[in-house]
Chains A and B, each alone.
Chain A
Amino acid sequence: MKIRDGLITLMAVATVTFAEQSNDFNADELDVLQLYGDEDFITIATGVVQPIAKAPAVASVITASEIKSMGATDIDQILETVPGLHVSRSPIYNPLFVFRGIHSDFNPQVLILVNGVPLSNLFHGDRNLVWGGMPVEAISRIEVIRGPGSALYGADAFAGVINIVTKSPKELQGLAGGISAGSFSTNRAWLSAGGSNGELKYSAFLEAEKTDGSDATISADAQTFFDLITGTSVSNAPGRVNLSKENLDLRLEANYKDWDVRIGAQIRNDVGDGAGAAQALNRDNKFESDRYNVDVTYREYNLLPDTKIEFQASYYQTSQEVTGNFVLFPAGSTGPFLSPLGVPLFGTFPEGVIGNPEIYENHFRSGFTALYDGIDKHNISFGSGYYKGEIDKVRERKNFGINPNTGMFILPGEPVVDVSDTPLVFLTEDKRDNTYVYFQDVWQLGNDWELTAGLRHDNYSDFGGTTNPRLALVWSTGYNLTTKLLYGEAFRAPSFAQTRAINNPLVLGNPDLKPEEIKSYELAFDYRPSYDLTINMNFFHYNWTDIIQFVADMNGSTGTAHNVGAQTGRGMEFEVKWNVSDDLKLSSNFSVQKSEDELLDADAANSPERQLYLRGDWRLDDSWTFNAQANWVIGRNRESGDSRPEIDDYLLVDLNVRHRISKHIEVALIMNNVFDEDAREPSPNGQPVPFLPNDLPLSGRSFLGEIRYTF
């Protein structure tokens, strides 16, 4: 509260001192502006940022300046503004990036890249269960492609591709930093430094965050249900959602001649498990994750005529670790071990039901891309590469199930047993490799017609080969209208949890799974009736097949993964950007989708069928800017068989006031969920009832004060 008051006072004082000086700034900046036309062009002309490459796809780009103006502190907030994309939550509150109605428990149908290198994990195909968010200060831009992209990107470029491009040494020359503090005991700090020595350019970016995460309350959980059945009274619900985290993100980059080297570390400590990994609340549950990456790129433009070749090798290492004991069900619980009549099988666990699963993965990738423009009217690209991924260590300690030393059940009150490296561990250590080759031609059919045709073949050591094409016909229909007709296919690699899970009491992996597949058709329009107005609209239709689902086994107690599901979807996305004046920019998008679960002949669940987003950026003068945004999430269906009433729609409003005190200092006050709306994301259905009956509440109103300093 003190920080907030201080910031407001600081802003008020600064207004008086700065107002007299802003005219001088204006004159000098206007002189430069006259040469380049606008500020964006200066950043391109001075080589700080690259012009946004065209994409024969439905794509959005969010730049660093937009990220700053919307006051985002995590990529989730940025991605929520993209048409057709909604960021939902899993029970542990990990983000689920839901494109066009494609929703699943772990969200492996989305490929997230950082500087072109995938973040996908082998265990669930997601970005790690101990995600802990991704801060945004080091981000130069985020490129989002809606629809399939396997013809270029390979596995998991399925419902959409999100490429996060970090700031280069060119963007980070000098020293800059900032701190912010606000609601939920949130404290953040970042520091960037960059320099050059001849042709060597280098930069470092360090971001740190510590927060309690949210004030939302889980009113009832799985343990509430078990309490009701077994007569215990140990649930931690109602209780505050467990969303603490301590994050440290380091990114280093060096560019020398034709070489780029990037090194990164994302250290996650004290990461809470939201509403509980077993949907039972326990605020003492904490995870850790250490993620390290290094990638090297080399460009060779002189080896072959008309050919630019780029080689890249990368290494990415991740872990999912437990701090202390991970309590699935609280002390005094019987756990979920009940007879069909609801009678506890083992009595109550005095320390709670404890399971400490830990996973260590590494991923190595190498490949090349060649661009050949030696044939008139054609731009040909081709490439090949190799991937090797491995879960090289699986650890598990628990106080339930079979004790591998005795062959008997571990009974309540017995100590935690280490089942690592035994046949009873939850997942086998294993590896997967993949080789691929792709080819793409951008063919200028006529002056205003361009056809992009691409094909990629992937061969996996565990599930075989898959070939995915893409076609994009782009027509410059008129001076201010471009029309695109797109077709693409993609695949999603089965995760190790789906193919190699062996000792889960409920769900079992299936080594014979095939990849999920999608075929997508899109018609898109880009219309610019004036320089201040851009309208984008697209229509899409997709068929998602071979969806991996757990099907009940004959024994009545387990379910095994099979390619059984199918979903079709269709919809429309509409986006307007209007620069009302030099000082006022408005943007809005509206998405509508209707997807059907073909297996159940029911509406697909959990994704908003409609979404409306509005944003205004207003620059009062050179020193004050205001941003307001509203996001309305509408029409989420329950899963088939879920008897709960439909989940309420919600409307969230955020405000960001930013003030430049001097060339060096800038302050901001960010308010999220200004009207303290009770916004909820759907919790999964369960048997016999949903274990989190009142869904997953999001944070109420929150404040964040920020100070930036450029040296």
Chain B
Amino acid sequence: MKGGIEIKGLMTTQLSIVLVCASLWCALTSAETPPLVVVYPEVRQPFAQVYQAIADGAEQGYGSPVHRLELANGRNSVDLIDRYENEIVIALGRRPVKQLLGKQLNHPLIVGAISVSIDGVLGLTIVPDPEAIVQRLQVLVPSVKNIYVVDHLKGNVINVAAAKVTLEALGLNVVIKQAADIRDAANVYRELAEHLDAEDSVWILPGDRFVNNALLSMLLEASWKSDFVVFSSNPTHVKRGALFSVYPDNFKMGVRLGEIALGRAQGNEQPAAMEPLTNVFVTVNERTSNHLGITLTDDKMDYIDLVLPAR
């Protein structure tokens, strides 16, 4: 029995030494940068790949390993990060962000992978920057002079009016058409389809709920006949015949989030605002580009990440 107590005592001493060492190590490392925690929802594949790639990028951007917390169903992010102290937290996706925003946290919070821009919060939206899209349009089809956009009267995830100013600075004429509902939008698109030509383009905005399959089909069929360009913020539209679209470069998005976190850790002054997504991939429909007479030269291919082959 006595032997047992001695062994237990010895183990306790060893454990203490280990804990002290670990604390010292933690203290030493935290003197440089505090650990970074990335919390994201637990989803099935292939959806999980998106969050995993962002976390991989965050690790690179931050320059040191990050703790990854997958938020299981029914769990709360607040409980998860309560185990940590002083760490910087990157919350990805709607559920973790919703749970953590507005809570009294001991952790600096950075948000990412959400489609809305929240005032007063540091982070990155997943909505591609309009300038990033339109720059690709100018590379692929330099002959296009006009961009037509159908905007919701109640607004959109993109501030179209602000985008117009930016895009016109690039030398393009941006025409904004307003629509109140899907019927209204259908009329606007139909009217555009009848009148546009090879110098024109239609930009389908991110999350545009006006453009259902029937409307998209009508628009793309008209663009095939009249040779105007349709580009979209929804990559699936490219499969269906839109010329091109953009989608997030998840890894680079993660790198940028990691850099924002690093800046925060180093105490750099950063405006508490969400940046638009500029790191995007471009996908092009080969059949449509052939039809429009666009040769995908090496110069153009430098701006293209994925060509969806003709059928």
Contacts and interface: CB of A to CB of B under 8 A. Distances in A.
Contacts of A476: 287, 290-291, 310
A377 B294 CA distance: 10
Given A24-B73, A48-B46, A52-B309, A31 B236 contact: no
B43 A479 contact: no
A331 interface: no
B235 A37 contact: yes
Contacts of A448: 290-291
Interface string A38-73: 110111111010011110000000000000000000
Given A45-B247, A531-B217, A36 B95 contact: no
Interface stretch (B23-31, B184-192, B237-245): B237-245
B213 A45 contact: no
Contacts of A29: 43-44, 47
A51 B308 contact: yes
Given A45-B306, A46-B49, A28 B293 contact: no
A163 B247 CA distance: 31
A555 interface: no
A32 B95 CA distance: 12
A179 B283 CA distance: 39
Interface in A623-656: none
A197 interface: no
Interface string A1-35: 00000000000000000000100110111011111
Nearest to B308: A51
B44 A25 contact: yes
Given A25-B44, A46-B49, A36 B73 contact: no
A532 B213 contact: yes
B224 A35 contact: no
A530 interface: yes
Residue of A51, A474, A660 with most partner-chain B CB within 10 A: A51
A450 B94 CA distance: 46
Contact of B95 (A28, A33, A42, A660): A28
B interface SS class:
mixed
Contacts of B286: 54
B196 interface: no
Contact of A42 (B46, B113, B207, B311): B46
Grouping DSSP codes into helix (H, G, I), strand (E, B) and loop, the A interface class, with mixed when no group exceeds half, is mixed
A476 B50 CA distance: 35
Contacts of A43: 46
Interface string B152-170: 0000000000000000000
Contact of A25 (B43, B114, B239): B43
A30 to B, nearest CB: 9
A25 B235 CA distance: 22
Contacts of B307: 51
A219 B281 CA distance: 63
Contact of A479 (B95, B241, B281, B295): B241
Max count, chain B CB within 10 A of own CB: residue among A37, A52, A663? A37
A45 B238 CA distance: 13
A444 interface: yes
Nearest to A174: B45
A306 B298 CA distance: 8
Given A28-B43, A31-B93, A41 B220 contact: no
B310 A54 contact: yes
Contacts of A28: 41-43, 47, 93-95
A663 B247 contact: no
Contacts of A31: 93-94, 113-115
A37 B235 CA distance: 6
A478 interface: yes
B298 to A, nearest CB: 7
Interface residues of A, number: 47
A376 interface: yes
Interface in A324-349: none
Contact of A21 (B73, B94, B217, B250): B73
B85 interface: no
A323 interface: no
A46 B290 contact: no
A373 B114 CA distance: 40
Nearest to B41: A28
Interface string B234-263: 111101110000011010000000000000
A229 B224 CA distance: 74
A53 B306 CA distance: 12
A418 interface: no
A48 B49 contact: yes
Contact of B224 (A38, A54, A478, A710): A478
B310 A21 contact: no
A557 interface: no
A56 B134 CA distance: 33
A558 interface: no
A482 interface: yes
A34 B247 CA distance: 10
A479 B311 contact: no
Most buried by A among B250, B290, B295: B290
B43 A51 contact: no
B194 interface: no
B292 interface: yes
Nearest to B50: A32
B74 interface: yes
B221 A479 contact: yes
A444 B43 contact: no
A663 B42 contact: yes
A201 to B, nearest CB: 13
A470 B113 CA distance: 49
B110 interface: no
Interface in B95-145: 95, 113-115, 126
A429 interface: no
A35 B247 contact: yes
A461 interface: no
A53 to B, nearest CB: 5
A209 interface: no
A8 to B, nearest CB: 23
Nearest to B48: A663
Interface string A466-503: 00000000101011101000000000000000000000
Nearest to A526: B311
A376 B297 CA distance: 8
B273 interface: no
A479 B220 contact: yes
B309 A51 contact: yes
A41 B50 contact: no
A697 B23 CA distance: 72
A302 interface: no
Interface in B270-311: 281, 283, 286-287, 290-293, 295, 298, 306-311
A257 B303 CA distance: 22
B53 interface: yes
A552 B9 CA distance: 94
B77 to A, nearest CB: 12
- Count chain A CB atoms within 10 A of each CB in B44, B126, B239 and give the residue with the most: B44
A293 B10 CA distance: 56
Contacts of A377: 295
Given A45-B235, A54-B311, A447-B293, 11 more contacts: A32-B43, A39-B46, A41-B239, A42-B49, A44-B306, A46-B50, A51-B306, A54-B310, A306-B298, A474-B310, A482-B310
5 contacts: A25-B43, A48-B46, A54-B309, A377-B295, A479-B225
Interface of B: 41-47, 49-50, 53, 73-74, 93-95, 113-115, 126, 207, 213, 216-217, 220-221, 224-225, 234-237, 239-241, 247-248, 250, 281, 283, 286-287, 290-293, 295, 298, 306-311
Interface of A: 21, 24-25, 27-29, 31-39, 41-46, 48, 51-54, 306, 373, 376-377, 444, 447-448, 450, 474, 476, 478-480, 482, 526, 530-532, 660, 663, 710
List of 10 A-B pairs having minimum Cβ-Cβ separation, nearest first: A37-B236, A479-B224, A54-B309, A28-B41, A46-B49, A24-B73, A479-B221, A42-B46, A21-B73, A32-B47
